[in-house]
Amino acid sequence: MTTPTTPMPYDRSLTHEIAARVLAAAVAEAGRNGWPMSIAIVDTAADLVAFARMDDAQTGSIDAAHAKARTAALYKRPSKVFEDAVTAGGQGLRLLGMPNLCPVEGGWPIVRDGRVLGAIGVSGMRADQDTVVANAGLAAL
Amino acid sequence: MTTPTTPMPYDRSLTHEIAARVLAAAVAEAGRNGWPMSIAIVDTAADLVAFARMDDAQTGSIDAAHAKARTAALYKRPSKVFEDAVTAGGQGLRLLGMPNLCPVEGGWPIVRDGRVLGAIGVSGMRADQDTVVANAGLAAL
Amino acid sequence: MTTPTTPMPYDRSLTHEIAARVLAAAVAEAGRNGWPMSIAIVDTAADLVAFARMDDAQTGSIDAAHAKARTAALYKRPSKVFEDAVTAGGQGLRLLGMPNLCPVEGGWPIVRDGRVLGAIGVSGMRADQDTVVANAGLAAL
Amino acid sequence: MTTPTTPMPYDRSLTHEIAARVLAAAVAEAGRNGWPMSIAIVDTAADLVAFARMDDAQTGSIDAAHAKARTAALYKRPSKVFEDAVTAGGQGLRLLGMPNLCPVEGGWPIVRDGRVLGAIGVSGMRADQDTVVANAGLAAL
């Protein structure tokens, strides 16, 4: 697992207002595309601040969205970093044995002024579509 | 534990739109009162559909709100029914050993046309205040 | 469960320096009394910041100390408040069914300027002795 | 998984004094390098004896440090041995299915006179940096 030489610090001021705004933007983007998804917003401890499951989202997406958000918040990195490492095989496979780490694209830190406030996790469609929705949420930050 | 002789059937049509509307009304009521709370909306399987944690809500309210909603959805009754039974003592104490049952006021079924669609759970203040907020949410149904 | 009408806000600035200082003072007090204990310091999410188990502390004290600290941090109150409610019986018994709530004396919020930074939990001796040690820790704040 | 033909015996005399000394040396080394880390010291049952989380350590490091220490204590080997086996692929991949085994560098047995007293686990930076800090702790033994 590659850790930045200067890890970003945390900022523990993720408000409900911010979380609700990011969530609404993500839900709107998913709706525009007709993608049924679950979307989780968590703080720096990976505790839930806001959550929405859209109609007909696969039930597994509930925990998957939370797991991706947890990963990004707890390790201060997009979950895709871990997906890529696992995909590369070899040493990267060790990540499958790390606690609280879901190595699947769709979890992204919520960053402001170089500090991690928490994370968004999206699940329900293809991983790149999950990321489109997460980015739409982050753009509302 | 009092079970209705004719238990209400489930209706699995709790949409994200309904859940978001109930949640928004509950959050607004809590905000008006200056009460920091967590509010969870779940379906008939007690799986999360919508969730919000307000600023400075005690961290314990996250799981507590979900636990109260779970209780109301899984057992088709307000969680206060179980609180009253535990309070009465004697046979009611057995409820403390029931799975997925939180015997604390604040979880209420979401009912439409005599059918249970899911539940709302509220935590963060006194139990009667939790109920005020839950009722404000249900009134938006 | 009685919640203060104006719940204390959280302050998420519990540093390692503070936690280590509180822990050292508590360990010193326990040592002076010859009491083998476990002592946990947690943040507002109940995640561990510092921990010490003294020689011959009963093994159960590890999780018990953490559970008491978790209770005080997540519910912003001394765990003794919940112990007293359970002891009174009746409605208080419902607390035995609350998630993440250990209703046993020994968990105390770490409060500064009217804000909850986290909590200390102590286990290993009689509850009142646990509190003596917790208070010694808090006095070093 | 390579198992020594003559596995080291356990020695259950890891005192709080030793654990605190090892922990302090590790924290000092991490501090000198400006590395925000979590550091866990466990006994032969992988139960926590001492723990510290430094400011801005990624939240995931709490459980990761414990998991690495647990691995080293429960299996009497550095967790890197398992990382190397997983990296080699083939039969080594089976380790991902072992209970209580985190195959990631950073967990090291605390050994004295050929006996395992417990383990130290470090998490928060690159794996080789985690090891630098663990070694600084062990040097204080």
Please give the pLDDT value at position A5. Answer: 56
- List of residues 6+ apart from A87 with CB closer than 8 A: none
Mean pLDDT of C34-42: 98
pLDDT at C38 over 60: yes
Tell me the average pLDDT of chain D.
Answer: 96
Compute the count of residue pairs across chains A and C with CB atoms less than 8 Å apart. Answer: 6
Percent share of chain D, pLDDT over 90: 95
| DSSP per position, D41-81 | EEETT--EEEEEE-TT--THHHHHHHHHHHHHHHHSS-HHH
- On chain C, the residues whose CB falls within 8 A of the CB of B58 are 7, 74-76
- Among chain D residues, CA nearest to A71: D60
Would you place residue C7 in the very low, low, confident or very high pLDDT band (cuts 50, 70, 90)? confident
Q: Which chains reach chain A with 3 or more Cβ–Cβ distances below 8 angstroms?
A: B, C, D
User: What is the chain C residue with the closest CA to D60?
Assistant: C47
DSSP A94: G
For residues A14-32, give the mean pLDDT: 98
**What pLDDT is recorded for position A1?**
46
Position A25 pLDDT exceeds 80: yes
Q: Quick check: D10 pLDDT over 60?
A: yes
**Position B7 confidence tier, pLDDT thresholds 50, 70, 90:** confident
pLDDT at B11 over 50: yes
Ramachandran angles phi, psi of A65, nearest 5°: -60, -45
pLDDT at C5 over 70: no
Q: Which chain B residues touch C73 with a CB distance below 8 Å?
A: 59
Does the pTM exceed 0.90?
Answer: yes
Please tell me the predicted confidence (pLDDT) of residue C1.
Answer: 46
Instruction: Give C21 to chain A, closest Cα distance, Å.
Output: 22
Looking at residues A28-40, what average pLDDT do you find? 98
Q: How far is D92 from chain C (nearest CA, A)?
A: 33
Give B136→chain A minimum CA distance, Å: 19
Return the exposure string of A39-64: e unless at least 16 CB atoms fall within 10 Å of the residue's CB, then b.
bbbbbbbbbbbbbbbbeebeeebbbb
Would the pLDDT of D3 be above 80? no
Chain D residues closer than 8 Å to C47 by CB = 53, 59, 62
When the pLDDT of each residue in chain C is averaged and rounded to a whole number, the result is: 95
Residue among B59, B95, B131 with most chain C CBs within 10 A, to mutate: B59
| Helix B79-88 vs helix B127-139: crossing angle, to nearest 10 | 150
**Is B89 in Cβ contact with C10 (below 8 Å)?**
no
pLDDT of C3 above 60: no
* pLDDT exceeds cutoff 90 at C70: yes
| pLDDT tens track for C75-134 | 999 999 999 999 999 999 999 999 999 999 999 999 999 999 999 999 999 999 999 999
Q: Would you call C47 an interface residue with chain A, using a CB distance cutoff of 8 Å?
A: yes
Cβ separation C44–B59 shorter than 8 A: yes
Q: What is the mean pLDDT of the segment spanning B35-54?
A: 98
* C-beta atoms of D52 and C16 within 8 A: yes
- D62 contact residues in C (CB cutoff 8 A): 47-48
Token digits of residue A74: 């707890």
Strand, helix or coil at B117? Answer: strand
Looking at the complex, does the CB of residue B20 fall below 8 Å from at least one CB of chain A? yes
Q: Is C82 on the interface with B (CB under 8 A)?
A: no
With DSSP H G I counted as helix, E B as strand and the rest as coil, what are the percentages for chain A, rounded to 5?
45, 20, 35
Cα separation, C39 vs C106, whole angstroms: 10
Q: Does C100 touch chain B (CB under 8 A)?
A: yes
C60 pLDDT higher than 80: yes
Q: Which chain D residues touch A89 with a CB distance below 8 Å?
A: 89
Distance from CA of D113 to the nearest CA of A (A): 31
pLDDT of residue A7: 78
Chains contacting B (3+ CB pairs below 8 angstroms)? A, C
Query: Chain-wide mean pLDDT for chain A?
Result: 95
State residue D105 phi and psi, 5-degree precision: -50, 145
pLDDT at A66 exceeding the cut of 80? yes
- Tell me which chain D residues have a C-beta less than 8 angstroms from the C-beta of A91: 83, 86-87
Q: In the sheet that A38-43 helps form, which strands lie side by side, from edge to edge? A: A107-112, A115-123, A38-43, A48-53, B48-53, B38-43, B115-123, B107-112
Whole-number Cα distances in Å, D39 to A108, D50, D116, D120, D124: 26, 8, 18, 7, 9
| Residue contact A53–B59, C-beta within 8 A | no
Mean pLDDT, rounded, for D52-72 = 98
* Mean pLDDT in residue range D32-46: 98
pLDDT tens for each residue of A89-103? 999 999 999 999 999
Residue D83: the pLDDT is: 98
Contact criterion met (CB < 8 Å) for B96 and C95: no
pLDDT confidence of residue B5: 64
Q: What's the rounded Cα separation, in Å, for the pair B64 and C42? A: 19
Q: What value does the mean pLDDT take over residues A78-91?
A: 98
Please, what's the largest Cα pairwise distance for chain A?
A: 43
SS3 B77: coil
Looking at residues B5-12, what average pLDDT do you find?
85
Verify A-D touch: 3 or more CB pairs within 8 A: yes
- Range scoring the smallest mean pLDDT among B100-109, B122-131, C5-14: C5-14
Supply angle C-alpha C70, C72, C77, rounded to 5: 160
In this predicted structure, the answer to whether residue D2 has a pLDDT above a threshold of 60 is no
Interface mutation target, options B55, B62, B66, chain A, most CBs of A under 10 Å: B55
Cβ–Cβ contact D127 with A under 8 A: yes
Q: A2, A81, A94: which to substitute to probe chain D, counting the most D Cβ within 10 Å?
A: A94
